[in-house]
Structure 1
Amino acid sequence: MNFEPRVADDAIRRMRATLAGLPCGVIVLGAAGDVLDASARALDMLQMTLPVGADFAEALSERFEMTEVLRPSDLARGVDLRVDETTLWLQASAAAGAAGSVVAVSDVTAFAHAVDERAMSLRFLLHDLRSPLNSISALTQLDASDPEAFERCGGMQQITQLARYVLSLGEQFIFTSVAEHLHARDFKRFDLRATVRQIISQLEVTALYCGVALQLWLSDSSPVWVSGMRNFVARAIQNVIDNAVRVSPRGEAVTVSLRHAGGFVEVLVDDRAGGLPGLAEGARLTSFDKLGRKTATGFGLGLKLAVQIVELHGGSLYAELNGAGGTLFVLCLPCLNPGAAKSAPASLVDADRALHASRRP
């Protein structure tokens, strides 16, 4: 008695059962592109029938009303198709040990939606960038043709503000794009104290240009470990310090220090810039959205981005009047070794007193 056909039938049934359990559909093609087999999932996803022996490329082109029949190279690169509200991705690869190929049919609807949303975000970003970039272009042309009119329009200071606004929009887009896909494994331990020192050194030129003394108050050199995206945290701190420096009157000071607060470490930024608009004595400001909408140059966008970054890291950012004619900004972040961040001056006034005391003979 010959059992070979029964054995072959069992193998085919097992293979089809395996294919039916896959998250994607599978179509097996011969060397000439003819259909040898197709899983039920593939047929259901494509919403079509594929008889054995049918030319797959022709059947697919007819089903989706394509102007040209797909070539083998098209399937090898991958083809996206729409079935109602579903986006499918078809890609062929050589079949192991055979002259034909295997076409995988995958549902990539979620990915396609994400791409569409990203494209929409880019279009909005380009729209928002057009106005400041056009203004910068107009100002540079005005400088060449009428220097006096250029100065009346704000000159290089206006160009600088517009450029900072453009950079802020770009930073916001990058942060939003990355934050959507962040996981705990992306967070790394880094020394906040060393990061703050590096930020201060990078902003010294800006402070010198603005005529503002940038002071760093650190009680010792022990590392202060926090967990997160170092570049993002550094950008948040830099934005706050940069804003404080640029709005401070010439001859004044901005003081930066660290302070331990329970299981958190606080980065304190003190200025004498007159206080944020709308900030009352004894109150705390935690949202800077309204500041970002006050002017076309985007004052407050950097603070808004800083809030989003510290909140992503389980922290917070707030501002309050410091009693010295300015604002105290406090960036609070979870600390891995909270005892390392020793107490720092609570305000610019205390920092000045401590600084003068240290200079006394």
Structure 2
Amino acid sequence: MPPVRRAHVRWRRPRGGTATFADSRRAAVTIEDGLATLASLASVGVQLGASNTRADEPLEQSRLLAAVRYRTLIEQIPAVTFLASLSGGKNEIYVSPQIESLLGFTQEEWVSDPVLWYRQTHPDDRDRVSQKFGALCLTGAPFRDVVRVMTRGGETVWVHAEARLVRDEEGQLLFLQGVGFDVSDQYRAREAHEELIREQAARAEADRERDRLREILSGLPAAITLLRGPEHTIEFLNPVAQALTGGNTDALGKPFREVFAEFAEVSQAIFDQVLSTGQPVSARELRIGCPDGQLARFFNFICQPLSDDRGQLLLAHAVEVTELVRARREVEEALRLRDEFLSIASHELRTPIATLQVQAQLMTRRAHRGDVDALRIQEAFGVVNGQAARLSRLVHQLLDVSRLETGKLELERETTDLVPLVDQLVANTQATCAWHTIDLELPESLEAYVDALRVEQVITNLLDNAVKYSPNGGDIQVVLARGDDEHAELSVRDHGLGIPPEKRADIFERFYQAHGSGSRSGLGLGLYVSRQIVEMHGGSICAEFPMDGGSRFVVRLPLNT
């Protein structure tokens, strides 16, 4: 752009106090010089006294022409220029028309309101701007700052403003002049850049926090998953959770329900509740069904909401408590069985004791009356002997259970011919049960390396059960045979009550009674002790249930050690 030719105007204040025009010539000057000239024309005014002659008219015309040129130049530059008086009264002398395109106020509105500039200054910048303008007036130091100014519509613009004081040749203060450039685009770009940097820093810090969190979660002895969105997409799995997937390496990015199908049914409602309420939800001993017929597993489950720069997350925390639940249930079952056993034992022990007492009282009364004969004494002692034997069996069963539980039950094995042993036990049983017929099949001889007393205990228990649970009498078959080259096999078959199908799986358990309490009840220890003795010999015992009713118990014992 070619240089603009400007007129340099110099003013002189005579002793009389009236400013007069002294000189004018064309020269290249700065915008600030032009502002000074324009301000002088606007604020001081050129008064042509009555004494002026026609010779002064060319000078006046030159001055007015220079003023027009300055105004034209100033009003075309892309900035707001302003002049302000520092004396009382009206402060604003002049503002360029760019004020309207910048802030939405006309020149007249801006000049006519002396505090409009202060009101439109951003509240956060007012104190700073006032202090700097005060320093300008007191010290003469130039004002230079970027100020936020509010437009008529309430928007914010950034203005780079500069101002200085203008004095005459004698140092007298004339006015304040300044210029303001719209630097909003620069500052918005800078703010956007700074905001981008802040966002990047925040995102980097969030990533670091996320990495630290995941490192912590990876070391926890619980299954941890991070889920996002309504589909509960998996974003993170720690090693414990990874193990629950069965080693699935493609779990990330998939919905939770696809990866943890066994958890889906119980967890879906929990996830939805957390998302809808924003509150954590916990569930204790959540039962999870397992495929392939495996036993159920139990988990303490907690789900809580989280958030990051990408939105809402769910943290699912699961601790397996299957062993604790099973152990507690075993304890509860043991306590139940203990209470049941104490009830049964008290009943079973009370019955023979009561019978003994009755017989003793009866014999005492008869003795007092002298009504005692040999036959009645024999009958009474028979009852006493039978009940004493029953008490003895009950006590021995309890002792056997105690020895089995503590590992103190020992076998005293020797080579024993099982044929005479079984034959004698069947004969003893047959002698006490007239309503039953026991059919016996025996080989000539069958030796085995066993504890004869303990095997006798097992066979006696099976024979007693066959009689007890055949209340209407009937046939009982007992067969002893060589099962193979290494085992002897004994079977006891009755045609009695049998065992209900739903109870068959537990008949060898401690204190279990398939038919409940009653006249045929016992301690529920006979089959339990029998199984333990047979297994200690290295053999096996099982129950079969023929279609025509009753039960068949089969014992297999090794012939040699």
Which of the five TM-score ranges fits, normalised by the shorter chain?
Answer: 0.3 to 0.5
Q: TM-score, normalised by structure 1?
A: 0.45
Question: Higher Cα Rg: structure 1 or 2?
Answer: 2
Q: TM-score, normalised by structure 2?
A: 0.30
